[in-house]
Copies of this chain bind each other. A is one copy, B any other.
Amino acid sequence: MRLLMSSSAVRLTALLVFFAGAATAQPADPLPSWNSSVSRTALVAFVDKVTTAGTPDFVPPAERIAVFDNDGTLWAEQPMYFQAFFVFDRIKALAPQHPEWTDTEPYASVLKGDVTRALAGGERALLQMVMATHADTTTEEFERLVREWIATARHPTTGRLFTEMVYQPMLEVLSCLRANGFKTYIVSGGGIEFMRPWAERVYGIPPEQVIGSSIKTRFEMRDGRPVLVRLPELNFIDDKEGKPVAIQQHIGRRPIAAFGNSDGDLQMLQWTTAGPGARFALYVHHTDAAREWEYDRASSIGRLDAGLGAARAGGWTVVDMRQDWKVIHPAEKK
């Protein structure tokens, strides 16, 4: 029944597009923020190919799965992953309940505003801070904390809300794929419950299509009411080799299109393109120092090194942000 409804919806959409086309003589461009480019052409050709019935590359709607990394692919990730700002703000908010943090690293440095020193302990220090700030709440309380923070917190250099730091051309890709019967998923190294509260509003991606890193939770009854308590214990890191593992666990079928921006996405792109039939893999290459940031092989955040070689060898699409994108963020739209 779900399949029937899904294909009915596709036919309905096709019909609406047809009438819209008849009225305006030319259907609206689904990718208005993309310059004519090799990458745009490759994307459009792929969508045409898999949605044209009766051809060998046709893919039924149920199998049109597209996966997107989030940090650096759907929204920016400089000067550090946005979730780290949430972690630091939570440490400041929780500090009164943790007087010991005043002279315990990495908390002490966060409270003094010394981000560099706070992160000097590398991934281990960051993970420690994530545990301290993301656990010991119920899932409902945590969702509320994220909602409140994301509604007001602002990027340190642009002054924009973090949700305004999304990439307009990628929003158009998401919409275009969904209009063509695709199911769009986020597959991110970021926290699954950090993304879910706003992914539907910002990206049109519902909670059940958000995959990410997670801590464990425990079911318990509190005053006769069931709650899920978030525990300071790692459950899963959704990065590198973890991405195909999580895709299999959550989706149970191989995507036909994958979008990323770093070596952390490489295995997801390899897994996606290794299936039979038409496949599409795209790297967003951060090449725009003026409008965004310029970084790749040497960056500690979003390093893209092995991925560039794999893209060349595999004939994957590499977006040159500076050349290919008319605007970066939604606010720049005319």
Scoring A residues 1 to 16 as 1 if CB is less than 8 Å from chain B, else 0, what string do you get? 1110110111011000
Query: Does A24 have its Cβ within 8 Å of any Cβ on chain B?
Result: no
- Contact of B1 with A217 in the complex, beta carbons under 8 Å: no
CB of A252 within 8 Å of the partner chain:
yes
CB-based closest 6 A-B pairs: A207-B252, A1-B178, A219-B241, A9-B9, A5-B9, A208-B251
Inter-chain CA distance A193–B225, complex, in Å, is 32
Q: A183-B2, A218-B245 are in contact. Are A192 and B9 (CB under 8 A)?
A: no
Whole-angstrom distance between the Cβ of A145 and the nearest chain B Cβ: 16
CA distance A192 to B217 in the complex (A): 20
CB distance from A177 to the nearest CB of B (A): 9
Q: Is the pair A204, B249 in contact by a Cβ cutoff of 8 Å?
A: no
Chain A stretch 229-255: residues in CB contact (< 8 A) with chain B: 235, 241-242, 244-245, 248-253
How far is B196's CA from A9's CA once the two chains are assembled, in angstroms? Answer: 24
- Alpha-carbon distance between A245 and B175 when the two chains are bound, in angstroms: 31
Once A245-B228, A274-B226 are accepted as A-B contacts, the answer to whether A178 and B252 lie under 8 Å apart by CB is: no
Contact check, B248 vs A228: say whether CB atoms are below 8 A apart: yes
Interface pair A271/B219, CB less than 8 Å apart: yes
Given contacts A2-B178, A9-B6, A12-B12, is CB(A245)–CB(B226) below 8 Å?
no
Identify the A interface with B (CB < 8 A).
Answer: 1-3, 5-6, 8-10, 12-13, 62, 65, 139, 174-175, 178-179, 183-184, 192-193, 196, 200, 204-208, 210, 214, 216-221, 225-226, 228, 235, 241-242, 244-245, 248-253, 267, 270-271, 274
Query: Of B8, B12, B226, which is within 8 A of A244 by CB?
Result: B226
- Could you tell me if A217 and B248 are in contact, using CB atoms closer than 8 angstroms? yes
A253–B9 alpha-carbon span in the complex (Å): 24
Contact among B12, B241, B248 for A8, CB-based, below 8 A = B12
List residues of chain B with CB within 8 A of the CB of A13.
Answer: 5, 8
A165 to B158, CA, bound (A): 61
Q: Enumerate chain B residues within 8 angstroms of A139, measured Cβ to Cβ.
A: 248
Minimum Cβ distance to chain B for residue A207 (Å): 3
Among A184, A193, A228, the most chain B Cβ lie within 10 Å of the Cβ of A228
Q: Give complex CA distance A219, B244 in Å.
A: 7
Contact A267 B226 (CB under 8 A): yes
Q: How far is the CA of A8 from the CA of B248 in the complex (A)?
A: 30
Asked whether A252 lies within 8 Å of B208 as measured between CB atoms, the reply is: yes
| A277 CB to nearest chain B CB (Å) | 15
B208–A253 contact, CB under 8 A? yes
- A225: B residues at CB distance < 8 A: 274
Contact: A208 with B178, CB < 8 Å? Answer: no
Closest to A174 in B: B1
Instruction: Point out the residues of chain B lying under 8 angstroms from A242, CB to CB.
Output: 219
Q: Do B8 and A226 touch across chains, with their CB atoms under 8 A apart?
A: no
With A and B bound together, what is the CA distance between A270 and B219 in angstroms? 11
CA distance A267 to B220 in the complex (A): 9
Question: Nearest CB to that of A208 among chain B residues?
Answer: B251
Q: Which of B1, B6, B179, B196 makes the CB contact (< 8 A) with A1?
A: B179
A250-B253 Cα distance, complex, nearest whole Å: 15
12 contacts between A and B (CB under 8 A): A5-B12, A207-B252, A208-B250, A208-B252, A208-B253, A216-B245, A217-B248, A219-B242, A219-B245, A221-B270, A226-B270, A226-B274
